[in-house]
Amino acid sequence: MRAILLAGGLSLVLTLVGTRYAIIVLARHGYGQLIRDDGPTTHHTKRGTPTMGGLVIVLASVLSYLAACLVTGRTPSASALLLMFLFVGLGTVGFLDDYIKISRQRSLGLRSRAKFIGQTFVAVAFGALALAPWFEDSRGQTPAGQTISLIRDPKDLTLPAIVVVLFIWLLIAGTSNAVNLTDGLDGLAAGASVMTFGAYTLVNIWQNNQWCGREPGPTCYEVRDPLDLAIFAAAITGACFGFLWWNASPAKIFMGDTGSLALGGALAGLAVLTRTEFLLALLGGLFVIQTLSVILQVGFFKATKGRRLFRMAPLHHHFEMLGWEEITVVIRFWLIAGIFVAAGLGLFYAEWVAGV
């Protein structure tokens, strides 16, 4: 528990202080956000706001996790190192996307194919390594299970490794893009991420307390490194919390694709490593709704040859176009995110109680 508190607290302080300096440096170099001309007119005033603030989130989270391990005498586990690889890898793809937007002064960064290739490489490498026998612990547990689960691995189901890797790739690509879509209003993605990563911190703490490596039994959790995952999840939670101080309306800085792709990838990685792939759809329900709104908008537009289901997608822009103030949309969407997180944690705990 000491390592969890240290990682979260240190990450919070690093982003509170580091983001302030990042704003100065990014503004000095002209690394400002470009705004779509077809978006809500109220967003035009945001043009030039420093972006790529996700760099601070990624660096603070990684440094805080490593510092917590150093202070408490822990050796970073295979699960945490794989999660770090996914987090930093997708953050790098997002950074390239942001940098191209800024350097070439256009609202589109990496070409869609290049971005897809980058996400695919990182996701497939993560999935393959998470199932590799090289990372088995003394009990033969790999970081990821060879199945797809709601809360724990089914005992009578084993999928081919290629199927699991394919699913992991789809989950990572979908979740990273979902957080990216949600990052369209001041503080929206950062606030929702605080709640979702906070939920995964609690999930990992509970799994560690009921871990099969310590307390074998019918309700124990077969997760390779639950405590290390809790430490890393706490570090990311603290980083998002500290960043939100500067990202809340009116935002002084945006996380950019650097932050949103990294955060989405880390959420998917936590779901895979904690054996809660399907539970992520509930814990991250707000991100699911945002993605579905875009899918429905595009599908309806094509099916009706030009008509729109929403005034604008993702869904948060629809409510802006209806006349809602930006801060009103953000706070109400935070409430929705909180309801989904509470429902997901309730389901997670109810499953354990039912099995006792």
pLDDT tens per residue across span 251-262: 999 999 999 999
Say if residue 257 carries a ligand binding annotation: yes
Segment 72-81, tens digit of pLDDT: 999 999 999 9
80: its two tokens: 């945490």
Asked whether residue 38 carries a pLDDT value surpassing 80, the answer given is no
The SS3 of residue 73 is: coil
Domain ranges of the chain: 1-285
Please, how many CA atoms are within 13 Å of residue 113, restricted to the half-sphere of its CB? Answer: 0
Quote the pTM value.
Answer: 0.93
Is 97 labelled a binding residue? no
Mean pLDDT of all residues in 266-281: 97
What is residue 50's predicted lDDT score, i.e. its pLDDT?
87
Who's near 312: CB < 8 A, 6+ residues apart? Answer: 39, 40, 318, 320, 321
| pLDDT the model gives residue 281 | 96
pLDDT at residue 299 above 80?
A: yes
Least reliable range by pLDDT among 134-143, 165-174, 228-237, 327-336:
134-143
Q: Which stretches within the chain are classed as H helix?
A: 2-28, 54-72, 78-104, 112-131, 161-182, 188-209, 226-247, 256-273, 280-283, 285-303, 315-321, 326-355
**Pair 12, 69: CB distance under 8 Å:** no
CB 64 within 8 A of CB 30: no
Mean pLDDT of 180-188: 93
- Cα separation, 47 vs 53, whole angstroms: 15
Q: Residue 154 has what pLDDT?
A: 84
* pLDDT one-digit tens code per residue, 126-136: 999 999 998 98
Dihedral of CA 239/243/248/251: which sign?
A: negative
Residue pLDDT, tens place only, 50-68: 889 999 999 999 999 999 9
Q: What percent of the chain has pLDDT over 90?
A: 70
CA distance 187 to 53: 12
| 184 — pLDDT class (breaks 50, 70, 90) | confident
Whole-number pLDDT of residue 105: 62
pLDDT band at 44 (very low <50, low <70, confident <90, very high): very low
Give me the pLDDT at residue 6, please.
96
What does the pLDDT average to over 195-206? 97
Per the prediction, the chain carries an average pLDDT of 91
